[in-house]
Structure 1
Amino acid sequence: MSKSGPIVLLEDDHDDRIFMETIFSELGIENERVYLKNSDEALEFLHNTSKSLFLIFCDVNLRGKNGLELKREIDNHKQLRLKSIPFVFYSTSIRQEQVIEAYTELTVQGFFKKENDLSEAKTSIATIIAYWKLCRHPNM
């Protein structure tokens, strides 16, 4: 993890991508953002990037493999697991069984509800980013 490294956002909804970019811009977050549409793109990017990533924001409801399946693949791949990239779910629909699975079966570091209100969403994103900027990490 590099605190100045790129933030990966797995989001397949174009409007949500624009909303997220607005939030990051308004918060003055300077990290490069890498937007990916699905789990296959994410796995290809994670395998091939030489960049030290800061954080992964993942929607649960992705086309094809969902976010939970993606996280399971990352956890099961030694090379990707060693990168120790902080991974949080940021999704509009949150079912309790998904939250339980994320924390008990996967090594997820957070599960957050995507807010529709710009002010609330900015508060959530700012809190998540601030936490990871302060957090100690094994790859630092």
Structure 2
Amino acid sequence: MIKNGTILIVEDDEDDKEILEDVIISLGNTNKIVWKLNGAEALSFLCSSDEKMLIIFCDINMPIMNGLELKRLIDADPVLRKKSIPFIFYSTAASQQAIEEAYTTLSIQGFFKKENDYQKTKSIVNVVIEYWKNCVHPNV
């Protein structure tokens, strides 16, 4: 279990990032939160950081490198793949095509559509984080 791991938010919209960050903090989480604007920044961070990661919340539509491209590169990198970081898509771009690709060709652990309801967002994020805080993990 990696209860104190870093939470990585990969999101190009600052308002969406602030909402997600506020939800995480309001749930009583004291985990370090790192924000990256796109997949390229996130990949650079993941490749250079020795931090234990609890989870990655990633948008799909971002400039430079989108979330699907980021996940493909993580899966293709033996070092990053071995870190087994739970990867959750959290996006308004929840098209059937994106969902199918995420689950059938990428190794994601969840896909959630951004909600306009703060309490529903809080409930979803709480379930996801608590689940991963309690899972046995190969890189403890």
> Which category describes the TM-score, using the shorter chain as reference length?
over 0.9
* Partner residue in 2 for 1:32: 32
Q: Which runs of 4+ in 1 moved over 3 A?
A: none
Give the TM-score normalised by structure 1: 0.96
Aligned residue pairs total: 140
Name stretches of at least 5 consecutive residues in structure 2 with no aligned partner: none
Q: Residue 117 of structure 2 corresponds to which residue in structure 1? A: 117
Sequence identity percentage: 49
Equivalences for 1:12-31 in 2 at 5 Å?
12-31=12-31
Kept after mapping to 1: 8 A contact 2:2/2:133: no
- Give 1:93 shift: 2.1
Counterpart of 1:90 in structure 2 is 90
TM-score, length basis structure 2: 0.96
The residue type equivalent to 1:28 in the other structure is G
Is the partner of 1:137 in helix, strand or coil? coil
AA aligned to 1:27 is L
Q: Deviations over 1:92-122 (max 9, x none)?
A: 1200111111111010010011111110100
For residues 96 and 132 of structure 1, the distance between their equivalents in structure 2, rounded to whole angstroms, comes to 25
Please name the residue that 2:56 is paired with.
56
How far residue 11 of structure 1 moved from its aligned partner, in angstroms, is 0.7
Provide the residue aligned with 1:131 in structure 2: 131
- Partners of 1:5 and 1:25 lie apart in 2 by 14
Once superposed, what is the RMSD of the aligned Cα atoms?
A: 1.1
